[in-house]
Structure 1
């Protein structure tokens, strides 16, 4: 018989944490309803609509993770990435800049890649580049902010992915980030069991009761985990849309010099709405006198580390990996803003 682990029920830690997340969602909705019933309805509709929009990415990533677990392909996939990490990072950064994922939509895919044992360096490159640019975003950016700005944003996406991926690779080679995922998320990541133990691939996994059980268990676990955190993230995003006035952002990001670029980098994290909504906002701010470099820094920092995305990332990885993710995002956004300000 094939050497596979039988599906196991979720651990007590996973169940308790899941209950806390759902409890936070319920309590937050009740508090909003008590203060502003209309906003509670708006937030609930926004959350459900956002979840529906993310559903195709969510479903695809869940199926990929469950399929890899059931067939035994997870180890093979992980080993393939280990073969040429330098090339893998470059391809991941390029693919990230061309992929149609937003900062929240990329989270399920990243979860699947890490649990399958894909090296953190390649994942980090994709993770950093993906939320910044995609084909439809490029076209819209050209229309709102012009072709030079769109090209600068695209170059930043690829450059940030490359820099983050290679730095992570160097740190990993020095012994850092041995197990990037939180223990309750999975046993993947660099050095995970999927990479250490190569299992025979059985494409027709549904004919093996054990493998079919593994598929169902992995799909159920991943669905419940991602759904709870994305629900909380989108609920918080709805509150940002309601209670963070655009006028406040305009006041904070005015002025000249490096200060506004640094401030835009920091403010972009909590104030960023989404890629499509942010473009007209930044266009209007630039027309009112905001530095183009500050606009680029805002879009980069907000796209990669917006509050909903950051919450989901925090749920997936250990604190040190999360800290690196935030540091790379802010440093990259500030650097890109300074460079663009100098040449724009």
Structure 2
């Protein structure tokens, strides 16, 4: 079976060059190094060494993450999403959360896909379940989270992502049964573009992708794209981590985000919204803060709240749905992040 979205096996070098130009040249990374060189030359070498050693230490997890993303793109496994939104409401909510939390998707993004789902009549409840779980976890994120923050943290974040999806979908379902949240999309919103094609006309995965030259090319392109993306963000994150460890007093972190109370978790939940800028880059930063005294629950709150309601994601959601849906999305995101982070905190104290 031929997938028209697949690249042709011939002129791949141009595509790779495009990917390299897109991911290059890390202006923020170089600018920070330049500022460090001018202000504190002695910190330049330790910061560069930290970036290099951190990338080497995480290389096995990075390799697995890249291969998983490339495999999903080459086989078309992301087309299985369409099967998550059929059946009884409760089953659709659970399957929507599973699809969002466990499956990798194309770079078209979750927002256009959500627009497509709603436009073709999929109920808002399972879409909300998918919506909440999708930014928090996928197989690649699980591998890198386990490598940076530990397997226990990665498992807990996965369970929280699924739980957030099921909880949000259930709340939306109950609100709709009570007569609320009709016609969730804003006027003039399209049907999702290329993201919606996977829902409207799904094609079966081709597990033996190496038998089709176009899918082999797709595998290589996805691997290259993922490698360049992760290398860029993780390099920047490890650089910021080195500076954080050098200049941020551990006592301040411990006083603000440490301890056993609920205040550090609440602070991390609120700070996560404006401060979170990328799920992969956030991992080393949270790891550094936890090494300096940040409690695990606060770290989880930052990742959950920031992952679901980061400013770019919130702006996209605001443009997509009506205010009542947006307000409920924010309330579920922040409330769920705080509640699940508190539960995780007490679990780590056992």
If the TM-score is normalised by the length of the shorter chain, which range does it land in? 0.5 to 0.7
- Report which stretch shifted further, 102-111 or 329-338: 102-111
Give unmatched runs, 5+ long, in structure 1: 1-37, 43-55, 61-76, 189-200, 204-237
Residue 314 of structure 1: aligned partner: 318
Cα deviation for residue 334 of structure 1 reads 0.4
Closer, same or farther: CA 128–104 of 1 in aligned 2, 3 Å = farther
Matches within 5 A, 1:211-250: none
The aligned counterpart of 2:96 is 92
Report the TM-score, using the length of structure 2 for normalisation. 0.57
Retained in 2: the 8 A contact 1:103–1:131? no
Query: Where has structure 1 moved over 4 Å in runs of 4 or more?
Result: 80-83, 101-104, 245-253
Q: 1:343 to 1:180 in 2, by over 3 A?
A: same
Q: Quick one: structure 1 residues 102 and 150, their matched pair in 2 at CA, closer, same or farther if it must change by over 3 Å?
A: farther
* 1:289 corresponding residue in structure 2: 293
What secondary structure does 1:123 align onto? helix
The one-character-per-residue Cα deviations of 1:170-212 (angstroms, maximum 9, x if unpaired) are 0011111111000121599xxxxxxxxxxxx999xxxxxxxxx
Instruction: Tell me if the contact between 1:182 and 1:318 (Cα under 8 Å) persists in the aligned partners.
Output: yes
**Counterparts of 2:268 and 2:201 in 1: how far apart (Å)?**
51
Is the CA contact 1:102–1:130 (under 8 Å) kept in the aligned structure 2?
A: no
Does residue 300 of the first structure (1) align with residue 296 of the second (2)?
no
Gaps of 5+ in 2: 1-26, 32-68, 74-81, 193-199, 203-235
State the distance in 2 between where 1:127 and 1:338 align.
22
> In 2, Cα distance between the equivalents of 1:175 and 1:139?
41
Q: Please tell me whether the aligned partners of residues 103 and 306 of structure 1 are also in contact (alpha carbons under 8 angstroms).
A: no
The aligned length equals 223
Hey, what does 2:341 align to over in structure 1?
337
- The alpha-carbon distance between structure 1 residues 184 and 289, as it changes in their structure 2 partners (threshold 3 A), is same
1:65-116 alpha-carbon deviations (Å, 9 max, x no partner): xxxxxxxxxxxx89x9575111100100111111225999211211111111
- 1:112 aligned to which of 108, 111, 116: 116
Report the Cα offset of residue 273 of structure 1: 1.5
User: Cα distance 1:101–1:116, how it changes in 2: closer, same or farther (>3 A)?
Assistant: same
**Is contact 1:101–1:131 with CA below 8 Å preserved after alignment?**
no
Question: Could you tell me how far apart the structure 1 residues matched to 2:165 and 2:89 are?
Answer: 14
1: distance between equivalents of 2:181 and 2:190?
A: 15
8 Å contact from structure 1 (residues 156, 336) kept in 2: yes
Instruction: Provide TM-score, normalisation by structure 1.
Output: 0.58
RMSD: 3.5
